[in-house]
Chain A
């Protein structure tokens, strides 16, 4: 078991208990969040889109740990 501390543009510090074989995408899916168009990071590591379907174990999260799963919307810089 792990504790996932979730932060998105609309959710702050939501604590979720999860199994190690769950994936970031499964967490997002449970909460009705679509991470496409967002930068997702876990414990300071920015995830590539294909990594969202890796299990927490595959993402090197250890049993009993508390991990930070963050989602930030990709927005354009500049003026146009």
Chain B
């Protein structure tokens, strides 16, 4: 018949709070009462001195080697390990240092326990640990084992004898005298207010936990918010940048819109009046496609805008492209007279395409007008406006098409001597016309001349001093 100890104070939650047994088994009440009674009495009414005696139950079978069982539980804090097996292990190797099998000649404890279930016990007095093997643990064995603790826990009972009060305890267990056990338990619990102590310790524990929890949560929240704020700042930065670009675009569009509103679209009269006014401009044709209407016009001009110093530097440099080309002395005298002395200008031509009032580009390789004069080296030969492009774009952004057209004239009057590749194209083209009768030059007196006539003009100037 199972022992009913459910009302025993030693099994209450308040007392159990101070004892931390490992895995237990179903009919462990007697063993718990015994172990707790011994521990509390030994503390002599001082709860701080209670040194719990605890146990751990296992039905796991590690084989026959006792040492393996000892090793498996060496890091456990419990004092008693109870291995419940179908049969006892056979010792196959020497025990580790400090361990010994419990055997008394005077007290046949194993024989006593084995009457309830075969038992073998190993003890390490220094470590205050006991390993118990029992074949098929049962309630009778638990009572026998519990009543024999004074012979098993040798570090607590060095003389293998309990004192008088403990003797009463073990006798009551042995006799399974529940009333006596309850009285003993009540008496031993009377000296200490376990409930109060439990509350105090729990409060301290909660405080500690709460502090740790609160602290961790606090710093975690700070960290999370910092990260969140950083991400938000980054997002704001990106969106601010995007917004700034949009505002910039809007400002540009607004500026262009205002410019357009303040400047009605040019009618054909305005445009042709402007072109008629400029003698170097000739309108060629109007075309229409999906981009809109295109006005093609020809510019006939003279090359007059260039860097004289840059030309002279290249002319005097024996290793320049100009000199490496091995032009004739006559030709070199002509180009020197044109670009260094400024005694004449080379006539040039180029066709531009004006699309609405939004785009203006040079057109390459057109054959309109006087095709015998120099096609512009940058524009007709390369469709390259250079830095004139930015000026034209700026004018068109403000719908200032007339200034843009004037800038195309500026571009036509220009040659960039630093762009040697284009310059050499011009030189070779001019050189090929050395014997041509075409009036390719306008002298500083405004007289149109062929290259050879211009050379003669230079000679005449030299002879006249």
Decide if A72 is an interface residue (CB 8 Å cutoff).
yes
Closest to A73 in B: B391
Decide if A74 is an interface residue (CB 8 Å cutoff).
yes
Q: Which of B284-316 contact A (CB under 8 A)?
A: 305, 307
CB distance from B138 to the nearest CB of A (A): 104
A39–B398 CA distance with the chains assembled, in angstroms? 20
Interface size on A, residues (CB 8 A): 20
Decide if A77 is an interface residue (CB 8 Å cutoff).
yes
Provide the B374-392 mask, 1 if CB < 8 A to any CB of A, else 0. 0000110010111110110
Provide the A43-80 mask, 1 if CB < 8 A to any CB of B, else 0. 11110000000000000000000001010111111111
CB distance from B349 to the nearest CB of A (A): 15
Decide if B420 is an interface residue (CB 8 Å cutoff).
yes
**Given A39-B410, A46-B409, A75:B386 Cβ within 8 A:** yes
A75 and B411 form a contact (CB under 8 A): yes
B414 and A77 form a contact (CB under 8 A): yes
CB distance from B174 to the nearest CB of A (A): 113
Chain B residues closer than 8 Å to A12, beta-carbon distance: 398, 400, 403
Decide if A41 is an interface residue (CB 8 Å cutoff).
yes
A9 and B410 form a contact (CB under 8 A): no
Chain B residues closer than 8 Å to A45, beta-carbon distance: 279
CB distance from B224 to the nearest CB of A (A): 54
A46–B384 CA distance with the chains assembled, in angstroms? 23
A39–B305 CA distance with the chains assembled, in angstroms? 9
Contact with B406, one of A70, A75, A77, A78 (Cβ below 8 angstroms): A70
Closest to B422 in A: A78
Contact with A77, one of B378, B394, B420 (Cβ below 8 angstroms): B378
**Given A39-B410, A75-B414, A78-B378, A44:B277 Cβ within 8 A:** yes
**Given A12-B398, A39-B305, A44-B279, A77:B416 Cβ within 8 A:** yes
A39–B407 CA distance with the chains assembled, in angstroms? 9
Q: Which of A8-27 contact B (CB under 8 A)?
A: 9, 12
Decide if B418 is an interface residue (CB 8 Å cutoff).
yes
CB distance from B426 to the nearest CB of A (A): 11
A76 and B414 form a contact (CB under 8 A): yes
Contact with A7, one of B379, B400, B413 (Cβ below 8 angstroms): B400
Chain B residues closer than 8 Å to A41, beta-carbon distance: 278, 406, 409
A75 and B378 form a contact (CB under 8 A): no
**Given A74-B305, A76-B416, A78-B416, A44:B386 Cβ within 8 A:** no
B385, B403, B413 pick with most chain A CB within 10 angstroms: B403
Contact with A76, one of B395, B402, B418 (Cβ below 8 angstroms): B418
Closest to A39 in B: B410
Closest to B305 in A: A74
A80 and B410 form a contact (CB under 8 A): no
Closest to B382 in A: A78
A78–B407 CA distance with the chains assembled, in angstroms? 15
Chain A residues closer than 8 Å to B419, beta-carbon distance: 76-80
What residues of chain A have their CB less than 8 Å away from a CB belonging to chain B?
A: 7, 9, 12, 39, 41, 43-46, 68, 70, 72-80
Q: Can you name 28 A-B residue pairings with CB atoms under 8 Å?
A: A9-B394, A9-B395, A12-B398, A12-B403, A44-B279, A45-B279, A46-B409, A70-B403, A70-B406, A73-B407, A73-B410, A74-B410, A75-B386, A75-B390, A75-B410, A76-B386, A76-B387, A76-B414, A77-B384, A77-B386, A77-B387, A77-B415, A77-B416, A78-B378, A78-B415, A78-B419, A79-B419, A80-B418
Q: Which 8 residue pairs spanning A and B have beta carbons closest together?
A: A78-B419, A44-B277, A77-B378, A77-B386, A44-B278, A75-B387, A80-B418, A78-B416
Given contacts A44-B279, A76-B307, A80-B416, 12 further A-B contacts (CB under 8 A): A9-B391, A9-B394, A39-B406, A46-B409, A72-B391, A72-B409, A75-B390, A75-B410, A76-B386, A76-B416, A77-B388, A80-B419
